[in-house]
Amino acid sequence: MVTDKDIWEYLEEVSDPEIPVLSIVDLGVVRAVKLDDENCHVTITPTYSGCPAMKMIEVQIIEKLQEKGLKKVSVDLVLSPAWTTDWLSESGRNKLREYGIAPPENEVDKSVLFAEPTVVPCPKCHSKSTKMVSQFGSTACKAHYTCIDCLEPFDYFKCLK
Ligand SMILES: [Zn+2]
Protein backbone atom coordinates (compact mmCIF):
# COMPACT_ATOMS: atom_id res chain seq x y z
CA MET A 1 0.00 0.00 0.00
CA VAL A 2 1.40 3.37 -1.02
CA THR A 3 0.80 6.16 1.48
CA ASP A 4 0.97 9.95 1.26
CA LYS A 5 4.28 9.74 3.07
CA ASP A 6 5.70 7.51 0.31
CA ILE A 7 4.60 10.01 -2.30
CA TRP A 8 6.43 12.81 -0.46
CA GLU A 9 9.54 10.62 -0.38
CA TYR A 10 9.28 9.90 -4.10
CA LEU A 11 8.92 13.61 -4.77
CA GLU A 12 12.15 14.23 -2.83
CA GLU A 13 13.81 12.46 -5.76
CA VAL A 14 12.53 15.05 -8.24
CA SER A 15 15.08 17.80 -8.45
CA ASP A 16 14.65 21.38 -9.51
CA PRO A 17 15.73 21.71 -13.17
CA GLU A 18 17.67 24.89 -12.41
CA ILE A 19 19.24 23.92 -9.10
CA PRO A 20 19.74 20.14 -9.29
CA VAL A 21 20.83 19.84 -5.64
CA LEU A 22 17.39 20.96 -4.51
CA SER A 23 14.36 18.72 -4.64
CA ILE A 24 11.01 20.25 -5.42
CA VAL A 25 10.06 19.41 -1.82
CA ASP A 26 13.06 21.40 -0.51
CA LEU A 27 11.96 24.31 -2.65
CA GLY A 28 8.47 24.25 -1.20
CA VAL A 29 6.98 23.82 -4.65
CA VAL A 30 4.92 20.77 -3.66
CA ARG A 31 1.93 22.04 -1.70
CA ALA A 32 -0.22 18.94 -1.33
CA VAL A 33 -0.41 15.27 -2.12
CA LYS A 34 -3.68 13.37 -2.32
CA LEU A 35 -4.10 9.66 -2.80
CA ASP A 36 -7.37 8.19 -3.85
CA ASP A 37 -7.21 4.50 -4.75
CA GLU A 38 -4.96 4.39 -7.76
CA ASN A 39 -5.13 8.09 -8.44
CA CYS A 40 -2.44 10.35 -7.16
CA HIS A 41 -3.00 14.05 -7.17
CA VAL A 42 -0.14 16.48 -6.62
CA THR A 43 -0.58 20.21 -6.14
CA ILE A 44 2.34 22.46 -6.97
CA THR A 45 2.92 26.21 -6.85
CA PRO A 46 5.41 27.66 -9.33
CA THR A 47 8.42 29.53 -8.02
CA TYR A 48 9.46 32.59 -9.93
CA SER A 49 6.82 33.30 -12.54
CA GLY A 50 9.55 33.88 -15.11
CA CYS A 51 10.96 30.40 -14.64
CA PRO A 52 10.19 28.21 -17.62
CA ALA A 53 10.94 25.17 -15.47
CA MET A 54 7.44 24.46 -14.20
CA LYS A 55 6.30 22.43 -17.20
CA MET A 56 9.44 20.36 -16.81
CA ILE A 57 8.74 19.82 -13.12
CA GLU A 58 5.20 18.69 -13.92
CA VAL A 59 6.48 16.12 -16.43
CA GLN A 60 9.16 14.92 -13.99
CA ILE A 61 6.60 14.44 -11.20
CA ILE A 62 4.41 12.31 -13.46
CA GLU A 63 7.37 10.28 -14.72
CA LYS A 64 8.75 9.72 -11.23
CA LEU A 65 5.45 8.57 -9.74
CA GLN A 66 4.67 6.31 -12.69
CA GLU A 67 8.12 4.80 -12.35
CA LYS A 68 7.17 4.05 -8.72
CA GLY A 69 4.11 2.17 -9.90
CA LEU A 70 1.38 4.78 -9.54
CA LYS A 71 -0.89 4.44 -12.51
CA LYS A 72 -2.82 7.67 -12.57
CA VAL A 73 -0.98 10.82 -11.68
CA SER A 74 -2.28 14.32 -12.10
CA VAL A 75 -0.55 17.57 -11.32
CA ASP A 76 -2.41 20.73 -10.48
CA LEU A 77 -0.89 24.17 -10.62
CA VAL A 78 -2.01 26.53 -7.88
CA LEU A 79 -0.92 30.14 -8.23
CA SER A 80 -2.33 31.52 -5.02
CA PRO A 81 -0.92 31.99 -2.43
CA ALA A 82 2.19 32.84 -4.42
CA TRP A 83 5.39 30.98 -3.69
CA THR A 84 7.91 32.83 -1.56
CA THR A 85 11.49 32.00 -0.67
CA ASP A 86 10.19 31.49 2.90
CA TRP A 87 8.94 28.11 1.69
CA LEU A 88 12.48 26.89 1.14
CA SER A 89 13.12 24.20 3.74
CA GLU A 90 16.04 24.41 6.17
CA SER A 91 17.65 21.40 4.49
CA GLY A 92 17.11 23.16 1.17
CA ARG A 93 18.97 26.23 2.47
CA ASN A 94 21.86 24.06 3.63
CA LYS A 95 22.03 22.25 0.28
CA LEU A 96 22.14 25.61 -1.51
CA ARG A 97 25.10 26.72 0.62
CA GLU A 98 26.94 23.45 -0.05
CA TYR A 99 26.29 23.94 -3.73
CA GLY A 100 27.84 27.43 -3.56
CA ILE A 101 24.64 29.44 -3.82
CA ALA A 102 23.80 31.89 -1.06
CA PRO A 103 20.26 31.14 0.20
CA PRO A 104 17.77 34.03 0.41
CA GLU A 105 18.31 36.38 3.33
CA ASN A 106 15.05 37.32 4.95
CA GLU A 107 16.37 40.69 6.10
CA VAL A 108 17.00 41.66 2.51
CA ASP A 109 13.60 43.25 2.10
CA LYS A 110 14.32 45.88 4.69
CA SER A 111 17.60 46.90 3.11
CA VAL A 112 15.90 47.13 -0.28
CA LEU A 113 13.36 49.42 1.29
CA PHE A 114 16.07 51.77 2.53
CA ALA A 115 18.09 51.36 -0.66
CA GLU A 116 21.03 49.91 1.23
CA PRO A 117 23.20 47.31 -0.44
CA THR A 118 22.12 43.79 0.43
CA VAL A 119 24.50 41.90 2.68
CA VAL A 120 24.74 38.39 1.31
CA PRO A 121 27.27 36.24 3.18
CA CYS A 122 29.66 34.25 0.97
CA PRO A 123 28.50 30.59 0.91
CA LYS A 124 32.14 29.41 0.89
CA CYS A 125 33.97 31.47 3.54
CA HIS A 126 30.92 33.15 5.18
CA SER A 127 32.51 36.57 4.77
CA LYS A 128 30.06 39.44 4.71
CA SER A 129 32.29 41.47 2.41
CA THR A 130 30.61 40.58 -0.84
CA LYS A 131 29.41 42.68 -3.71
CA MET A 132 26.76 42.27 -6.35
CA VAL A 133 28.20 41.98 -9.83
CA SER A 134 24.97 41.63 -11.71
CA GLN A 135 21.25 41.58 -10.94
CA PHE A 136 21.01 38.36 -12.88
CA GLY A 137 23.14 35.29 -12.37
CA SER A 138 22.95 32.06 -14.33
CA THR A 139 19.15 32.42 -14.32
CA ALA A 140 16.76 35.29 -13.69
CA CYS A 141 16.04 33.89 -10.23
CA LYS A 142 19.56 34.55 -9.08
CA ALA A 143 21.88 37.51 -8.76
CA HIS A 144 25.58 37.26 -9.31
CA TYR A 145 27.95 38.14 -6.46
CA THR A 146 31.66 38.13 -5.77
CA CYS A 147 33.29 37.60 -2.39
CA ILE A 148 35.80 40.33 -1.61
CA ASP A 149 37.69 38.12 0.87
CA CYS A 150 38.08 34.82 -0.96
CA LEU A 151 37.42 36.31 -4.43
CA GLU A 152 35.02 33.50 -5.17
CA PRO A 153 32.11 34.34 -7.47
CA PHE A 154 28.75 32.93 -6.39
CA ASP A 155 25.06 33.10 -7.14
CA TYR A 156 22.56 34.49 -4.69
CA PHE A 157 19.09 33.00 -4.71
CA LYS A 158 17.01 36.15 -4.68
CA CYS A 159 14.51 36.67 -1.94
CA LEU A 160 10.98 36.75 -3.19
CA LYS A 161 7.80 37.60 -1.30
ZN1 LIG B 1 34.26 34.11 0.38
Q: How far is the CA of 121 from the centre of ligand 1 (A)?
A: 8
Q: What is the pLDDT of residues 49-74, one digit of tens each?
A: 555 677 889 999 999 999 999 989 99
Q: How far is the CA of 145 from the centre of ligand 1 (A)?
A: 10
**CA 132 → CA 2, 16, 84, 128, 136, distances in Å?**
47, 24, 22, 12, 10
Q: How confident is the model at residue 35 (pLDDT cuts 50, 70, 90)?
A: very high
Query: What does pTM read for this prediction?
Result: 0.76
53 shares its domain with 68: yes
Q: How far is the CA of 124 from the centre of ligand 1 (A)?
A: 5
Listing DSSP states for 45-97 in one string gives --SSTT-TTHHHHHHHHHHHHHHTT-SEEEEEE--SSPP-GGGS-HHHHHHHH
19 shares its domain with 51: yes
Residue of higher predicted confidence among 112 and 152: 152
- Among 63, 83, 103, identify where a domain stops: 83
Q: What is the pLDDT of residues 90-128, one digit of tens each?
A: 999 999 999 999 998 765 455 555 555 568 999 999 999
Close Cβ partners of 37 (under 8 Å, ≥ 6 residues apart): none
pLDDT exceeds cutoff 80 at 85 = yes
Work out the number of other CB atoms within 10 angstroms of the CB of residue 155.
22
Domain that holds residue 64: 4-83
Of 120, 128, 124, 127, whose CA–CA distance to 157 is shortest?
Answer: 120
Give the total number of structural domains in the chain: 2
The enclosing domain of 54 has a CATH number of: 3.30.300.130
Q: How far is the CA of 146 from the centre of ligand 1 (A)?
A: 8
pLDDT at position 56 is 85
